[in-house]
Amino acid sequence: MDKGQGAALYAFGSNGNGQLGIASVDDTSSPQSVHFSSTTNINIVVNNSLSSSPQQHDNNNKDSTTRPHVNAITPFHDFAAGGNHTALITHGSRQLFMTGSNKDGETLLQESCQVFKPAELSKRLQHQQPQQPQQQQQLNKDQDQNQDQENSGRSADMNKDSNSNIQWRSVACGWAFTIGLTEPYHPVPDSHNTIAVSRSNNNVNQSVYAWGSGSFGELGLGPGRFKTGGQAIPITTGLLDPSSGTRFELVKVKAGLRHVLLLAKEIRFPNDQGIADGATRTVLMGWGSNRQGQLGVLARPGGSGRGDPTTVAPMTEKELRGKFMEPTRIVISATTRQHNSSGTATPVTRAADEEPEILDMACGQSHSLVLFSNGTVFSSGLDKYGQLGPRALISAEDSSEEGGMEKSKKVDFRIGFEQVLGLPFVDSVSCGWNHNAAMDTRPIADDPTAMTIIYLWGRNDHGQLGGGIPYHAVNACLIGGVVNVPTGIVQVRIPVRRKDGSGGKEESGNKEGSVFESLVSYSCGSEHTLVTTQSGACYAWGWNEHGNCGGGVDSDGNKDLEDVSAPRLVQFPNRSVSLSTGHGGWVSGGYGSSWVWT
């Protein structure tokens, strides 16, 4: 890519399987340019959304799939980093590219790769077909064998073209698996200019594909399916079973180490309660491991799983802490309880049309966050390091069994989503393995502090919280620690870098009266954090064993791999300035890895 034209993608950190896409398998603490395969038109891949035309710098690149980057010009429609592989979806063509390990078929490539390549869809994408009885499958097989060879060849060519032209909406990577969500397919009208719409089509002509491996149900393909053998297999189990009769518009997918969250809009039909045809409500599905409660409370399939999610047949703790092998409805609502400043919980009753929608979610190693449209964040899962954040005090009536869990138990996890207390209004969230970040990205008129604060909470043994100032302080004794574990929220700001007239010394620290940078993009890596500012600077802090916080190499060839306890400016050796001023940049963190767009 011609750097003189402006933007480029850089990567640094863990790279033992080529997951950075920098044409090597060496870790690097100095940002390196990311490579795309030589057969790829890079301008189409990367610059779809970054043309000099101002029409391409609009809100089309600030959609709901790219929320901690709402105020940045994002280089991709979606981006995800797994244990040893990486995936991205381009703007415009919605094409899927991958790099890194392919040991378990997690990249849809022929072999492991060190540069981003287009996924081989025509060879590896299976068509979505409803499950059929064994006798019917054998009958179809016999009929297929008797078809004319010419027709079979023509059909194969058509399928190949269809797979090659598929458009992707969202992608998520776990340890050794990938989940991909396609864009809706709009069929061509027939000769009478009509399109038949079947209510049995439960996902509005969309598909969810799984590929790779996972022994905790993270593929979502049903019991007994732990590998896909290099194929992308459509998920047609659980709530995504075409015969379930429920229609969804699938919005986005996120993955943790061994669990998956899928956000959808449930399309509701007229009934005796006055629901309008085509009315929707957001719902959350999950599958994979729920050992620490990272999926929350799930509805039993069959009864409440396909009916009203507010009435749940309780599961025992043993059942909830198992493996969920197929997409299952998660029970969560932002209107069931409202927490006041004293920490007590008060039931709230609202009309159905006032129910806040789910905007986004984020997955940690063994916990999850869910963001609602009213600016609240809910958490569930492992809480050993305070990653669930402050929550309401447990009252006497709440200590009884609810959803199969005794809430009075002192444990280092929680099964069930509850509101994170102490946060102001936020509209974006991000998860590391055991820490989190959230931010209000709305530019507010006449408010100089708007978009300058990032809120963090959770584990801090490597400086993941950036030495932030306490914002909402709470201490709770959690099992798993010798001493009290801080579960409060801290705030981090980046002071504006100025130069004096005597030698260019930079100001640093949160000094009183300091002017702070507006933040336009941020991301939690596994145990580190990244931000970019409005002026174009990139900062990183936290665990740095693989150089994922930058630092580079000194004159003696030694890498700076010490943990970074406070925000540190990332240096880009191949550029005259760290980032392009006014561009704002974009960041994404992975498993000991970092990506920066500049």
Please, are residues 598 and 574 in contact by the beta-carbon 8 Å criterion? Answer: no
For 396-442, how does the pLDDT look when each residue is reduced to its tens digit (9 = 90+)? 334 334 444 444 445 799 999 999 999 999 999 999 999 999 999 88
Q: Return d(Cα 380, Cα 372) in angstroms, integer.
A: 14
Quick check: is 518 in a domain?
Answer: yes
Where does the pLDDT of residue 68 fall: very low under 50, low under 70, confident under 90, or very high at 90 and above? low
Q: Are 543 and 29 in contact (CB under 8 A)?
A: no
> Whole-angstrom Cα distance, residue 421 to residue 194?
51
DSSP 8-state code for residue 293: S
pLDDT at 480 over 70: no
pLDDT of residue 328: 96
Number of domains making up the chain? 1
**Is 318 part of any domain?**
no
CA 91, CA 185: separation in Å to the nearest integer? 17
Residue 75 near residue 61, CB atoms below 8 Å: no
Please report the DSSP string for 212-263 in residue order: EB-TTSTT-S-TT--B-TT-BEE--SGGG-GGG--EEEEEEEEE-SSEEEEE
Instruction: List, for residues 487-545, the tens digit of each pLDDT value.
Output: 689 999 999 976 543 333 334 444 445 789 999 999 999 999 999 998 889 999 999 99
In a domain, 86, yes or no: no
Q: Is residue 535 assigned to a domain?
A: yes
The answer as to whether 215 is a domain residue is: no
The structure's pTM equals 0.82
Who contacts 69 (Cβ-Cβ below 8 Å, separation ≥6)?
62, 520, 521, 586, 587
- Domain assignment present for residue 68? The answer is no
Please state the rounded mean pLDDT for residues 73-80.
88
Q: Where does 25-173 have alpha helices with state H?
A: 42-47, 121-124, 134-145, 149-164
Domain that holds residue 440: 362-396+403-587
For residue 44, CA distances in Å to 36, 119, 297, 448 come to 11, 16, 43, 38
Answer with the residue of higher pLDDT: 392 or 318.
Answer: 318
Is 415 within the bounds of a domain? yes
558 φ, ψ (degrees, to nearest 5): -90, 135
Strands 367-372 and 377-382: antiparallel
568 is a domain residue: yes
Parallel, antiparallel or unpaired: strands 435-439 and 454-458: antiparallel
pLDDT digits 0-9 by tens, 233-243 = 999 999 999 88
Give mean pLDDT, residues 158-178.
Answer: 78
Q: In the beta sheet, which residues pair with residue 328?
A: 286
